[in-house]
């Protein structure tokens, strides 16, 4: 096991071979991770952790409020040889985050919301942002890396405009320090990355579906530019696309790769 000091006095324990760089404040952990990739300083399982961020980002360029007390981290993961499989890592991260929340706060009842959010009892507690970066590789060829950014509301939910209601683990009666949460998350992420790399996407997809939010329920998917599709959430195809079924809940009418999902009552 490797150990590294926590800025708040705790000492997170990381999986063997993983490394951690911690900062009081960054503009964005994912930006710092990208800079390391571009400088040729990336390593598999390298985590960039900040106690706060001044320019945290979510999907589609949305801001991610980042006050102290919550967890903000980005993990560098060597990209799979098949570029088409890179998007699967978002589901790996979602399952790992949900499992970490189950350990830290069982009462939160985490659910995976397509494509990359974790909700607890109807409110968003965690967001995941997957990015691809390229750095120097062998023979002059660019080396691809995945930046897996994960934010978890621990002490407080951001008081900012959002598509969805937000909550923190503290709202469920559990106090968790960022260091303790990072330790559990890193262990879960390491385990599920191993499953993905050795067994493929199948087990990850099954684990995600077992925790899926709104499976079989009516759903509205906003695709942008005012385009909206409605139907029922029919699950995932073998690549992670959302299957949108008709009113019979069986006939698949659309496969969706990106969009904002809303269930009834949201």
Q: Report pLDDT digits (tens) over 7-33.
A: 556 778 999 999 999 999 999 999 999
What is residue 5's predicted lDDT score, i.e. its pLDDT?
Answer: 43
Domain 2-210 and domain 218-263 have a common topology: no
Asked if the 218-263 domain carries CATH number 2.30.30, the reply is yes
Domains of the chain, residue spans? 2-210, 218-263
| Least confident window among 70-74, 115-119, 241-245, 249-253 | 249-253
Quote the tokens at residue 162.
């959002």
Contact 192, 225 (CB under 8 A): no
- 166 pLDDT band, cuts 50/70/90, is very high
Asked if residues 76 and 36 have their Cβ atoms less than 8 Å apart, the reply is yes
pLDDT band of 231, cuts 50, 70, 90: very high
Q: Quick one: pLDDT at residue 8?
A: 55
3-state helix, strand, coil in the chain (%, to 5): 30, 35, 40
Q: Is the pLDDT of residue 234 over 60?
A: yes
Q: By the 8 A CB rule, do 192 and 95 touch?
A: yes
Total Cβ atoms within 10 A of residue 206? 11
Domain 2-210 in CATH: superfamily? Answer: Bira Bifunctional Protein; Domain 2 (3.30.930.10)
Q: Is 49 helix (H, G, I), strand (E, B) or coil?
A: strand
What pLDDT sits at residue 23? 95
Beta strands in the chain (DSSP E): 2-3, 13-14, 19-23, 46-50, 71-78, 110-113, 117-120, 123-135, 143-152, 218-224, 227-236, 242-245, 252-256, 260-263
pTM metric for this prediction: 0.91
Q: What is the pLDDT of residue 9?
A: 62
């Amino acid at each position: 096991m490797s150990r590294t000091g926590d800025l708040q006095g705790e000492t997170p324990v990381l999986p063997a071979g993983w490394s951690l760089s911690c900062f009081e404040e960054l503009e964005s952990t994912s930006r710092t991770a990208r800079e390391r990739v571009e400088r040729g300083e990336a390593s598999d399982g390298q985590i960039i952790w900040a106690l706060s961020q001044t320019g945290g980002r979510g999907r589609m360029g949305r801001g991610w409020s980042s006050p102290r007390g919550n967890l903000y981290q980005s993990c560098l993961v060597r990209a799979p040889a098949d570029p088409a499989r890179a998007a699967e890592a978002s589901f790996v991260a979602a399952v790992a985050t949900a499992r970490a929340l189950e350990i830290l706060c069982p009462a939160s009842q985490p659910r995976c919301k397509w494509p990359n959010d974790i909700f607890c009892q109807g409110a968003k507690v965690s967001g995941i942002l997957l990015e691809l970066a390229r750095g120097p590789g062998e023979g002059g060829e660019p080396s691809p890396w995945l930046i897996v950014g994960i934010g978890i509301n621990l002490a407080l939910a951001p008081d900012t405009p959002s598509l969805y209601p937000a909550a923190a683990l503290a709202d469920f009666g559990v106090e968790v320090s960022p260091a303790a949460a990072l330790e559990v998350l890193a262990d879960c992420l390491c385990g599920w990355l191993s499953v993905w790399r050795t067994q493929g996407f199948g087990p990850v997809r099954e684990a995600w579906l077992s925790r899926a939010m709104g499976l079989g329920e009516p759903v509205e998917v906003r695709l942008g530019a005012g385009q909206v599709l409605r139907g029922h959430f029919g699950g995932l195809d073998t690549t992670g696309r959302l299957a949108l079924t008709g009113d019979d809940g069986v006939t698949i009418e659309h496969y969706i790769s990106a969009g904002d999902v809303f269930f009834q009552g949201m």
